[in-house]
Structure 1
Amino acid sequence: MDDSHILLCEDREAVRVLTLNRPSARNCLSMDLMGALHGAVTEAGENDAVRAVVLTGAGPAFSSGHDLKELTAHRNDEDRGRAFYAETMGACSDMMLAIVRSPKPVIAAVNGIATAAGCQLVASCDLAIASVDARFATPGVNIGLFCSTPMVALSRNVSRKGAMEMLLLGDMVDAQDAHAMGLVNRVVEADRVVNEAVEFGRRIADKPSRTLKIGKEAFYKQLEMPLEDAYRYAAQVMVENMLDAEAEEGIGAFLDKREPNWPR
Structure 2
Amino acid sequence: MSQAAEKPSSAEPLLLRNDRNGVATLTLNRPAQRNSLSEGLMIALTEELGAIAKDASVRCVVLAGSGTMFCSGHDLKELTVARAEADRGRAYYEKIMKLCSTMMQAIVNLPKPVIARVHGIATAAGCQLVASCDLAVAAEGTRFATPGVNIGLFCSTPMVALSRNVSRKHAMEMLLTGDMIDADRAADMGLINEAVPADELDRAVTELAEKIASKSSLTLAIGKEAFYRQLEKPLGEAYDFASEAMVKNMLARDAEEGIGAFIEKRQPIWQDK
- By the TM > 0.5 criterion, same fold? yes
- Work out the CA distance in 1 between the residues paired with 2:27 and 2:93: 25
The CA deviation at 1:199 is 1.7
Does 1:147 pair with 2:169? no
Structure 1 residue 36 corresponds to structure 2 residue 80: no
Q: Which runs of 5+ in 1 are unaligned?
A: none
User: For 1:231-242, what aligned pairs fall within 5 Å after superposition?
Assistant: 231-242=239-250
Q: Size of the alignment, in residue pairs?
A: 263
TM-score, scaled to structure 1? 0.97
User: Identity of aligned pairs, percent?
Assistant: 61
* 2:261 is the alignment partner of 1:222: no
How many angstroms apart in 1 are the aligned matches of 2:54 and 2:125?
Answer: 25
Q: Among 92, 111, 122, which residue is 2:130 paired with?
A: 122
Point out where structure 2 has 5 or more consecutive residues left out of the alignment: 1-9
Question: Could you tell me how far apart the structure 2 residues matched to 1:60 and 1:167 are?
Answer: 24
Distance (whole Å) between structure 1 residues aligned to residue 123 and residue 268 of structure 2: 42
Counterpart CA distance in 2 for 1:44 and 1:37 is 10
Q: How does 1:1-264 map to 2 (within 5 A)?
A: 4-264=12-272
Q: Which moved more, 1:159-168 or 1:6-15?
A: 6-15
Aligned partners of 1:96 and 1:121 also within 8 Å: yes
Summarize deviations over 1:108-161 as a string: whole Å, max 9, x none: 000110000000000000000000011000000000000000000000000000
Aligned residues of 1:3 and 1:23 also touching (Cα < 8 A): no
Q: TM-score, normalised by structure 2?
A: 0.94
Q: Which runs of 4+ in 1 moved over 2 A?
A: none
1:186, distance to aligned residue in structure 2 (A): 1.2
Offset of residue 42 of structure 1: 1.5
Tell me, in whole angstroms, the C-alpha distance in 2 between the residues paired with 1:9 and 1:178: 27
**Residue type of the partner of 1:258?**
R
Write the distance in 1 (CA, Å) between the matches of 2:140 and 2:11.
Answer: 25
The answer as to whether partners of 1:30 and 1:70 remain within 8 angstroms in 2 is yes
CA RMSD of aligned residues (A): 1.2
**Cα deviation code 1:9-38 (max 9, x no counterpart):** 111221111110111110000000000011
1:69-128, CA deviations, whole angstroms, 9 ceiling, x for partnerless residues?
000000010110000000000000000000000011100000110000000000000000
Question: Letter of the aligned partner of 1:256 in structure 2?
Answer: E
User: Does the C-alpha gap of structure 1 residues 222 and 237 become closer, same or farther in structure 2, counting only changes over 3 Å?
Assistant: same
